Amino acid sequence: MAKKERPIKGAPTARDYKGDVNPDWCPGCGDFGVLASLQSAYAELGRGSHDHLTVSGIGCSSNLPGFIRTYGMHTLHGRSLAVATGAKMANHELNVVVTGGDGDGYGIGGNHFIHTMRKNIDLLYIVMNNETYGLTVGQASPTTVVGEKTYSTPFGNIETPLNPVAMAIVSGATYVARAFSSERKQLTELMINGMQHKGFAFIDVISPCITWKGDEIFDYWKERVNMLEDHDTSDKAAALEQAVKTGHDTQLGLFYHDTNSQSLDQMEPVLENGPMAHQQMGVTPEQGDAIIKRMM
């Protein structure tokens, strides 16, 4: 859905990207910090709100496009990356950001997650990972830890959780980070750099759900996260070594940054003449004759 343009006077601020609808998340939800950081990141880039597209799937966190003033699309469960890919290839001058949750992105949309990374689509994917299906009464998600009791695992989860950061590194993502919604300064910086990166940028954000995890969940994570320091982000093996650390050694920061690989739109010859959305559609008589000749 397109948002009505609200003229921005002077340099944009985070407030300029505040939507007309207030968030309906539970008080204390980690997603508030993600929204605030994204608004700040958009403002820091200095582009108009019409230069950004925010896409989401289904879930608590996927309501985010409705709370921010950019072009926005609230799409199908697990299909946000597919829609965002189409939008980016139609107009690769747009800054495309995809937001969602762990159930939407790693469960229902796991296949799209892998192949969008493999193709190195030039967009930023922000996943608010709360290790639960928060919108549908707290069932176990692909990132729920072993042993946790939920509505779908009343005797404790027995399935090994997915490690999305490690998965992104080996699947072709060219900018891979992990953040914590309470560490807003770092999160905003990672978002800004991710938007400026040419290729698939991914941030797995620890965004606690106090409704199904309890008020103490923020303290739980604060005891377990550490800042990633003295790390060579160009070294994929070193990035993977850090990414597999969990528990009390969970690392926050930029794990991997590949500045050499080209994104799909850079490699696509059709886009050499500019965005498809700005090109004249149709086939010229010469092109038509050439097609017919090849088929005869």
**Residue ranges of domains in the chain:** 14-295
For 191, half-sphere exposure in the C-beta direction (CA atoms, 13 angstrom radius) is 31
What's the pLDDT tens digit per position in 143-162?
Answer: 999 999 999 999 999 999 99
DSSP string, 222-267: HTTEEE--S--TT-HHHHHHHHT--GGGEEEEEEEE-SSSPPHHHH
Q: Stretch 241-268: mean pLDDT, rounded?
A: 96
**Residue 108 clears pLDDT 60, i.e. is over it:** yes
Phi, psi dihedrals of residue 47, rounded to the nearest 5°: -95, 165
Q: Crossing angle of helices 236-243/164-171, nearest 10°? A: 160
Pairing of strands 175-180, 200-206: parallel
Q: Is the pLDDT of residue 257 over 90?
A: yes
pLDDT value for 2: 46
262 has pLDDT over 50: yes
Within 10 Å of residue 156's Cβ, how many Cβ atoms?
12
User: Tens digit of pLDDT for each residue in 57-70?
Assistant: 999 999 999 999 99
What value does the mean pLDDT take over residues 185-193?
98
CATH for the 14-295 domain, from 3.30.420.610, 3.40.50.970, 3.40.50.300, 1.10.3720.10: 3.40.50.970
Rounded to an integer, the average pLDDT of 67-79 is 96
Q: What is the pLDDT of residue 4?
A: 47
